[in-house]
Amino acid sequence: MNGQWNKLNASLIAVACLLTLPLCASAQLPSPAYGWNLGNTMEPPCGVGCWGPPPTQALINAVANAGFNTIRIPCAWDSHANQSTYQIDPTYMAQVKQVVDWCVADNLYVIINDHWDDGWLENNIGTSVDPTINAKMNSYWSQIATTFAGYNNHLLFAGANEPNASTAAQVSTLTAYYNTFISAVRNTGGNNTSRWLVVQGPSTDIDTTYNLMNTLPTDPTPGRLMVEVHYYTPWNFCGLTSDQSWGNMFYFWGQAYHSTSDPSRNATWGEEAYLDAEFQKMTDKFVSQGIPVMIGEFGAMKRTSLSEPELDLHLASRTYFHKYVADSARRHGISPFYWDTPGGGQLFDWNTGAVSDPDNLAALTGGPALPPPGSGPPPVPLPWMTQDIGTVGLSGTAGFTNNVFTLVGAGGDIQGTADAFRYVYVTATGDCTIIARVVSVQNINSWSKAGVMIRASLDPGAANAFAAVTPGNGVT
């Protein structure tokens, strides 16, 4: 119900419990998907680790333990291949395989791609097929697919990264390269005949993809292609480092996170409604037709040069942006992948796996965003997580103080085929017990409700068992 305030005393055992159902072997990605990028690590043309520390098993373990269930590994095959024979350096292949094996050992889904890689592919999408590029596509992906032929469907291949195509003729050329990529993989046999393959929309831009990607490449295996786009919008907030003639930097994103002391740096476009409308385009064009979509990259820079109190507001706004992107993507049936790299301002220490940004980590793995400074109770503590379920109209919040959870939620109801409410939960497998005391429920409606729930998944239509307290109709 809109404006509903629910307070739950969690001092006994729990508020809610989420049971994750096993996925069938053919599922393209986990649901819900919590994706993370091993950025600037395996894809430098100058070699693994030349843009920062090389990957470690401790890092991969930390990513899995933090709640991510899928890792995207950007790779650079052309930079590590003989340019006469197109043979991939076996040392590099072994390095990639080692990282994949670490991920598999942690039960993670894995996506390997061909990233920027000196632009051999993505900066050369012309109006006709280049025989050299096409030969490389065939050779590289035949070798990659052969190396990984025995791996199950937890491993996916992505044909490119951000292919620079902006016209129908360029998209036609790009599709021809994708056809070569798909044929190369399928022809190696084994599990590659049914492996999920990812094709990138032109420039991985949502609007360009929506307007120009009107047919998918040819695949002899039906129902095993996924579309990838990226999301760094508005760039003024996500990556702009100096004011430009076309626009200035934004420090604060989200209607509740605008600054009153520095209003010139508030986002003036590209906020919640715009983001939802963009993701809806992908839902309408692909997801509703049974074609999965992933946001292979998203993220906003941390502007550490700001002074207080603007810095605190910016940092809180940044967690809110990340949470809103990830949550909205999942609500639209899209799998989101956060772009992370070694260095200051990111989630983990690349050497040890130690968490360096717990606030963003929580926001990206189903937990809360930081509230605007001074606006409310502290966020829910890990391992608790919180998010809106279904289409709620107005984003909810949750906080925790003195052993009491406070939920602010909106939504039509919890009934029928699509629920809409604010959820605070922990994951569990097998039997579990839930005990909580409802302290109060604001009487917005006689059927406003708060209580304890066991839920099969975070999908709005998931099966659930729910005991609720209402202000006008007792316990239901």
Which amino acid is it at 197?
A: L
CA distance 454 to 468: 12
Give the pLDDT of residue 9.
41
- Name the one residue in this structure whose structure tokens are 């819900």: 32
C-alpha atoms less than 13 angstroms from C-alpha of 285 in its C-beta half-sphere: 23
How many angstroms separate the Cα of 196 from the Cα of each of 5, 30, 39, 112, 216?
Answer: 43, 13, 22, 11, 14
Whole-number mean pLDDT of the chain? 91
Residue 208, classed as helix, strand or coil, is helix
Domain boundaries, the chain: 1-26+371-476, 35-364
CA distance 322 to 68: 14
Percent share of the chain, pLDDT over 70: 92
Residues 6 or more apart in contact with residue 259 via CB below 8 angstroms: 251, 252, 265, 266, 310, 313
| Bond before 222 cis per omega within 30 degrees | no
Sign of CA dihedral 38, 42, 44, 47: positive
Quick check: 13 pLDDT over 70? Answer: no
Give the pLDDT of residue 378.
62
Under 8 Å between Cβ of 377 and 359: no
**pLDDT interval class at 426 (50, 70, 90):** confident
Under 8 Å between Cβ of 420 and 13: no
The pLDDT tens digits for 97-116 are 999 999 999 999 999 999 99
The CATH classification number of 35-364 equals: 3.20.20.80
> Which among 157, 187, 163 has a CA at the least distance from the CA of 176?
163
Angle, nearest 10°, between helix axes 272-285 and 310-331? Answer: 20
CA 82 to the chain's CA centroid = 34
Q: Whole-angstrom distance between the N-terminal and C-terminal Cα of the chain? A: 16
Residues 6 or more apart in contact with residue 57 via CB below 8 angstroms: 102
Angle, nearest 10°, between helix axes 131-147 and 168-186? Answer: 40
Average pLDDT over residues 251-262: 96
Residue 122, classed as helix, strand or coil, is coil
CA distance 176 to 131: 11
> Which among 232, 398, 396 has a CA at the least distance from the CA of 321?
232
CA dihedral 149, 180, 203, 100 (to 10 degrees): 10
Quick check: 428 pLDDT over 90? Answer: no
Average the pLDDT over each of 2-16, 72-86, 253-267, 272-286 and give the range with the smallest value: 2-16
> Which among 144, 1, 140 has a CA at the least distance from the CA of 82?
140
pTM of the model: 0.78
